[in-house]
């Protein structure tokens, strides 16, 4: 919370971005180290320290402009193909996550639970695995059409 970091749904981890608050023209440079935000219409979640720097703590949200200033450093041998998935929920209750995963798996094929530790364990339910973001977005649109929340995120690991 007190480092200059942020969460983004699809930018690779360790990407550095400049975030400009369009309301006051203040900007900050942050490193992407997490996935999110998981609220439709939002593009980035800033750490508390970063939000403080550009006067977003009070209002909580603002229109911003993102500029990639430094991609992650990786050697050619470390490079993995980009993979995208659709997040349909994040739960503190594992049994609820399992029920959603089972329903998604029966309707859309591949679905899994990924645990994340942040103020306790969160169980993220992910559906599909696509090499193109557009294909993942098409899957998300099909899922949303039946009334389920769905956001495209980068799949950070091929491990389930």
- Position 38 scores a pLDDT of 80
Lookup result for tokens 């942020």: 6
* Spatial contact of 11 and 122, defined as CB atoms under 8 Å apart: no
* 86 pLDDT more than 80: yes
Please name the helix (run of DSSP H) or strand (run of DSSP E) that holds residue 113, with its range, or none: strand 111-117
Q: Say how far residue 71 (Cα) sits from the centre of its chain.
A: 17
More confident residue, 133 or 78: 133
Q: What is the percent of the chain with per-residue pLDDT over 90, rounded to a whole number?
A: 68
* Strands 151-154, 121-130: pairing kind: unpaired
Superfamily in which the 84-154 domain is placed by CATH: Sporulation related repeat (3.30.70.1070)
- Position 30 scores a pLDDT of 97
**Cα separations in angstroms, 22 against 6, 28, 47, 54, 57:** 17, 12, 18, 10, 15
* 160 pLDDT more than 70: no
Lookup result for tokens 């990786």: 74
Nearest-angstrom CA–CA distance, 51 and 31: 13
Checking 143-146 for CB contacts under 8 A at 24+ apart, the result is: 143/86, 143/88, 143/104, 143/108
* Residue 97, both tokens: 């996550």
More confident residue, 81 or 65: 65
Identify the CATH number of the domain defined by range 5-70.
2.40.40.10
Residue 2, Cβ density class (10 Å: 0-12 exposed, 13-18 middle, ≥19 buried): exposed
Domain ranges of the chain: 5-70, 84-154
* 52 pLDDT more than 80: yes
């Amino acid at each position: 919370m007190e480092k200059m970091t942020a969460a983004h749904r699809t930018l690779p981890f360790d990407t550095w971005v400049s975030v400009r608050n369009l309301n006051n023209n203040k900007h900050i440079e942050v490193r992407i180290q997490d996935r999110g935000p998981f609220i439709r219409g939002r593009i980035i979640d800033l750490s508390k320290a970063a939000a403080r720097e550009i006067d977003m703590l009070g209002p909580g949200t603002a229109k911003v402009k993102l500029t990639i200033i430094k991609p992650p450093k990786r050697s050619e041998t470390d490079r993995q193909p980009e993979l995208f998935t659709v997040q349909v929920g994040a739960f503190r209750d594992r049994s609820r996550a399992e029920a959603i995963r089972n329903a998604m798996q029966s309707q859309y094929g591949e679905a899994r639970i990924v645990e994340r530790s942040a103020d306790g364990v969160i169980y993220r339910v992910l559906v599909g695995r696509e090499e193109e973001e557009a294909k993942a977005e098409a899957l998300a649109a099909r899922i949303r059409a039946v009334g389920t929340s769905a956001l495209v995120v980068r799949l950070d690991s091929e491990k389930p």
